Amino acid sequence: MRRNNDRIQRNEERKESLIDSLRFPKDICMGAMKVTLTGNREAWIENYRGLLEYTESHILLQGRTCQVCFEGARLSIDYYTNEDMKISGCISCVRYL
Partner 1 sequence: MRIERGKPEGDCGIGKEQAMIRFLKYMKGYLRVRVWGFSPERFMNLCSNKGILLWDIVREGDVYYMNITLKGFWEIRPIAKKTGTRVAILERYGLPFFLPRLLKRKMFVLGLVLAVVFWTVSSFFIWDINLNGNYQITDDVLQDFLKGNQVRIGMRRDDLDIQELEKQIRRQFPQITWASVRLDGTKLLIDIKENDAPIATREHAVDEKHSMGGAQDATGTDLVAEYNGRVVSIIVRSGVPKVAIGDTVEKGTVMVEGKVPVYNEDATVREYSYVDADADIVLEHASEFTASLPFDHTEKRYTGREKSSHYIKLGDRSWALPENRPFLVYDSVIKESRPLMLERLSVPAFWGTVTYREYQNVEYKYTAEEAKVHLNQKLMDFLAELEEKGVQIIEKDVKIETGNDVWVLKGQFLVQEPVGASVRTERIEVEKTEENE
Interface residues toward partner 1, by CB under 8 A: 23-25, 27-28, 36, 38, 42, 44, 46, 50-56, 76-86
What's the min distance (Å) between Cβ of 83 and partner 1?
7
Nearest to partner 1 of 8, 52 (CB atom): 52
Contacts of 81 by beta carbon, 8 Å cutoff, 6+ apart: none
What's the min distance (Å) between Cβ of 8 and partner 1?
26
**Residue 29 backbone phi and psi in degrees, to 5:** -75, -35
Nearest to partner 1 of 80, 96 (CB atom): 80
Nearest CA among 58, 59, 35 for reference residue 46: 35
**Bridge partners (DSSP) listed for residue 69:** 60, 95
Nearest to partner 1 of 4, 55 (CB atom): 55
What's the min distance (Å) between Cβ of 10 and partner 1?
24
What's the min distance (Å) between Cβ of 4 and partner 1?
32
Distance CA 93, CA 41 (A): 11
**Residue 76 backbone phi and psi in degrees, to 5:** -140, 155
